[in-house]
Structure 1
């Protein structure tokens, strides 16, 4: 399949923020059990790993030499570390300015993450319609805990409900902006740039999964009989979805 047009890609970019909004709704309703949070995050890790292994790396291999693919993975890993460092700096700076480091700082950090999600969705959608869809879907489950956490932080800080809901309403715009940037970069790009960027996205996903999602998933101490099948279920669900969309 070829790349999608811009408007459908921007529509897909709303899916990453859907995970956050579902987490917000859950926090406004009730706190989920820890085993469920841990299981959901392990499933998200399985999905992200499958996207990199099944979709991004093979598509990159079709376009560039293996040594360049490895270099792009390394660049993606560096970018992932840079994004993590930048989000921590934003969280600390905004938090120190407002006196609530764990609230508005965390809010800004999640916004950066959503922009990055949109960037990958837009770039993937410019390459192939099904790739943009898979990248967008893969981020829904992974963003749910972040939405829950920031909404819970807002409640703990006793921020009025109207104010926190207005702040959270900005989230859906961020992945759309990121998707626009990603689409402009890869729409009509040659195989060298496309393959390099797809491998870079794979590096971003893999490092974020290993360094961020998995440690966070282990914090609720979900039992192995829950976490391991959840990871396999997430990986398998993405594999089946990829096979179905590729038909």
Structure 2
């Protein structure tokens, strides 16, 4: 299969996992407690993506100061995005629609990073791209659930909720195609710097927005911690298992 079509096919998988989770929230009963748990699981998965997939890849190539600079730039970019969203929402503040839209932005950033990893992975080898795509399907399920459940709790109409959930396909697909085209011939240093940049974005998204929204949905309890740890552990095991099956 031609490389560009292979990338396009793989890039649909993360969006499909996210959409499936969103439809589960759409047509099944939700509650603040389930939303709290889903957001904790999603945050655990995002932290696992950063610490298991992105940073180790970058560490093997980039000098420490380049890694730190790229990571900080990613975090700063997310803060700028958050400021822009707050202004577009009229400074709607704490617990309002700004938080809701920042959850959307956080998931969009995660799916963009999925696409970046897929495009970069396929540029290295088709097997690596397949492993990354398969792992992301499971990782994106709780994120899709949490996002749609959050919109549902905020009173967003059903038709708009479904359209917003479907829109996540665009982020992974666009990022995968762009990264494949732009990074295929790039040096390892450039590709790893891009991964470190995305790692900074994702870390801020998980810590500052996903967990904050989880706390607003319902007060944490021990199950919240279990969901966070479980999300991290599940992604790590799935990633390791797929890599083992694919021969590393």
Fold similarity call, TM over 0.5: yes
Aligned partners of 1:40 and 1:141 also within 8 Å: yes
In structure 1, distance between residues paired with 2:232 and 2:24: 26
Q: 1:132 to 1:22 in 2, by over 3 A?
A: closer
Deviates more, 1:74-83 or 1:125-134: 125-134
Give 1:239 deviation, angstroms: 1.4
Q: 1:210 to 1:118 in 2, by over 3 A?
A: closer
Give 1:78 deviation, angstroms: 0.6
Q: How many residues align?
A: 231
1:79-132 Cα offsets, whole Å, 9 max, x none, are: 111222233344449x9xxxxx959x967x676555533431222113321335
Partner of 1:13, secondary structure, is: helix
Out of 116, 119, 127, the position equivalent to 1:123 is: 116
Aligned partners of 2:22 and 2:141 also within 8 Å: no
Deviates more, 1:32-41 or 1:196-205: 32-41
1:129-185 Cα offsets, whole Å, 9 max, x none, are: 1335445543332232212233454xx46x5x6676566554433432233223333
Partner of residue 124, structure 2: none
Task: Map 1:203-214 to 2 at 5 A.
Answer: 203-214=200-211
Give 1:59 deviation, angstroms: 0.3
TM-score w.r.t. length of structure 1? 0.77
Q: CA RMSD in A?
A: 3.2
Aligned partners of 1:13 and 1:175 also within 8 Å: yes
Partner of residue 190, structure 2: 193
TM-score w.r.t. length of structure 2? 0.77
Partner of residue 98, structure 1: none
Partner of residue 18, structure 2: 19
Partner of residue 53, structure 2: 55
Out of 233, 238, 246, the position equivalent to 1:236 is: 233
In structure 1, distance between residues paired with 2:77 and 2:217: 28
Aligned partners of 1:42 and 1:230 also within 8 Å: yes
Give 1:33 deviation, angstroms: 2.5
